């Protein structure tokens, strides 16, 4: 099958990681796969190429904007001749639906429902809560398919000794209000207030809240606001505990990355994690609860043990590929039957 993925953002986070890793797995499974992305900073385009390999990466010139992006998508589809187009995030869906191609169009809901998905032949939800938000006026196919764990060696952290003299906490994500990093910084300082406790916090990611977070962390050298990190895997392997302090989390791919690396998990009760981590043993915290999160951080530090062996059997790339392939074929058959 010839598959064209389209994602038109210009920074690399969970949605972009999912798109590129899916393309890579599909390519290794024997499909002809291309990923169309906008030209961005060198760090972005380099990471897209690395994460999507061996799939082909096509570039949309950055000077193309507005309706011209649709022309760029049409031209990429004309050159690649896909059997199906798979878009990621609302911008890509909005541009692709204007292509007017006879090729079926599928979109993944990485966040929430948008009206541009109404013209898609199929919608893949990362979590069941998203499906409940789809209006009854949408009559095409919908399926819930969870994200898969990254293609890293299972429990690779066992090969990388973590520090034994302190507990290291980690959080990865865009520095935007929805991710609640401000809550995490406040909770860390409340949990370990005198500055001498053997604990450290690393936050990896960039965004408009970076300066605010730096102000909150000022004077505490244990807290590192690292900004964008091209290769996050060593951070996971060095961390004892991964913390998701999000106010809104549609799925939470970083949690799977942390589990793959053997981290313990502290997580706020957001919609995506509450679904796919149901039944797992971890520390749950109410959203925006600084005191509750501080208590959970102290408890995690006190109970620290060897790298955690999580059951990730429900998140294997092979299982996700099989479900998505079947979804593609059903959408192609639906279009052919019209």
Strands in 84-88's sheet, in edge-to-edge order, are 56-60, 32-38, 2-7, 84-88, 105-109, 122-125, 141-144
Q: CA-to-CA distance for 168 and 301, rounded, in angstroms?
A: 9
Q: How far is it, in rounded angstroms, from Cα 316 to Cα 150?
A: 8
Q: Determine if the peptide bond prior to 54 is cis (ω within 30°).
A: yes
Q: Tell me the two tokens of residue 11.
A: 């920074």
pLDDT of 43 strictly over 50: yes
Paired tokens of 213: 């977070």
pLDDT of 99 higher than 80 = no
C-alpha 62/C-alpha 72 separation (Å) is 11
pLDDT at 254: 95
Q: At what angle do helices 14-28 and 42-52 cross, to 10 degrees?
A: 40
pLDDT in tens, 172-214: 999 999 999 999 999 999 999 987 789 999 999 999 999 999 9
Q: Tens digit of pLDDT for each residue in 248-298?
A: 999 999 999 999 999 999 999 999 999 999 989 999 999 999 999 999 999
Comparing CA positions, the residue from 4, 20, 174, 146 lying closest to residue 80 is: 4
CATH number at 2-148+316-337: 3.40.50.2000
Is residue 259 classed exposed, middle or buried when 0-12, 13-18 and 19+ CB atoms within 10 A define those classes? buried
Q: Give the pLDDT confidence score for residue 157 in this predicted structure.
A: 45
pLDDT, average across residues 31-36: 97
Residue 100: which pLDDT band, with cuts at 50, 70 and 90? low
Q: Dihedrals φ, ψ of 32, to 5°?
A: -90, 115
Neighbouring CB atoms inside 10 A of 269's CB total 13
Place 216 in a pLDDT band, splitting at 50, 70 and 90. very high
CATH of domain 156-313: 3.40.50.2000
**Of the segments 10-14, 103-107, 181-185, 319-323, which one has the largest average pLDDT value?**
181-185
User: Which of 100-109, 218-227, 294-303 has the lowest average pLDDT?
Assistant: 100-109
What is the arithmetic mean of pLDDT over 21-33? 96
| Nearest residue to 103 (alpha-carbon basis) of 291, 335, 294 | 335
Q: What is the pLDDT of residues 133-171, one digit of tens each?
A: 899 999 999 999 999 988 776 554 445 568 878 899 999
**Are the beta carbons of 142 and 125 closer than 8 angstroms?**
yes
DSSP H/E element including 123? strand 122-125
d(CA 275, CA 262): 20
pLDDT value of residue 225: 96
Q: What is the mean pLDDT of residues 240-254?
A: 95
Domain boundaries defined on the chain: 2-148+316-337, 156-313
Closest CA to 203 of 123, 61, 222: 222
| Average pLDDT value over all residues in the chain | 91
Which value, in Å, is the radius of gyration of the alpha carbons in the chain?
A: 21
Shared fold status for 2-148+316-337 and 156-313 = yes
């Amino acid at each position: 099958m010839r598959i064209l993925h389209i994602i038109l953002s210009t920074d690399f986070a969970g949605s972009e990681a999912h798109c590129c890793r899916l393309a890579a797995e599909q390519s290794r499974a024997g499909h002809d796969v291309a990923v169309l992305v906008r030209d961005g900073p060198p760090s972005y385009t380099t990471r897209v190429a690395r994460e999507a390999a061996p799939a082909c990466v096509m570039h949309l010139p950055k000077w193309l904007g507005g309706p011209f992006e649709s022309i760029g998508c049409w031209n990429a589809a004309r050159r690649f001749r896909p059997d199906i187009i798979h878009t990621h995030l609302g911008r890509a869906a909005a541009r692709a639906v204007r292509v007017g191609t006879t090729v079926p169009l599928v979109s993944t809901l990485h966040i929430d429902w948008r009206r541009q998905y109404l013209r898609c032949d199929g919608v893949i939800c990362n979590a069941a809560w998203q499906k409940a938000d789809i209006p009854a006026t949408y009559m095409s196919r919908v399926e819930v398919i969870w994200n898969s764990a990254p293609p890293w060696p299972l429990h690779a952290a066992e090969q990388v000794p973590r520090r034994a003299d302190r507990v290291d906490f980690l959080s990865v994500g865009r520095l935007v209000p929805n991710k609640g990093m401000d809550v995490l910084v406040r909770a860390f300082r409340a949990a370990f207030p005198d500055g001498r406790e053997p604990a450290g916090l690393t936050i990896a990611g960039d965004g408009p809240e970076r300066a605010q977070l730096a102000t909150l962390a000022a004077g505490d050298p244990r807290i590192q606001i690292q900004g964008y990190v091209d290769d996050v895997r060593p951070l996971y392997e060095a961390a004892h505990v991964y913390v998701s302090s999000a106010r809104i989390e549609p799925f939470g791919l970083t949690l799977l990355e942390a589990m793959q690396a053997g981290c313990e998990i502290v997580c706020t009760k957001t919609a995506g994690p509450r679904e796919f981590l149901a039944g797992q043993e971890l520390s749950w915290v109410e959203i925006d609860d600084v005191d509750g999160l501080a208590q959970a951080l102290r408890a995690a530090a006190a109970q620290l043990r060897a790298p955690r062996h999580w059951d990730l059997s429900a998140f294997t790339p092979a299982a996700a590929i099989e479900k998505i392939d079947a979804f593609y074929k059903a959408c192609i058959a639906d279009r052919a039957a019209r």
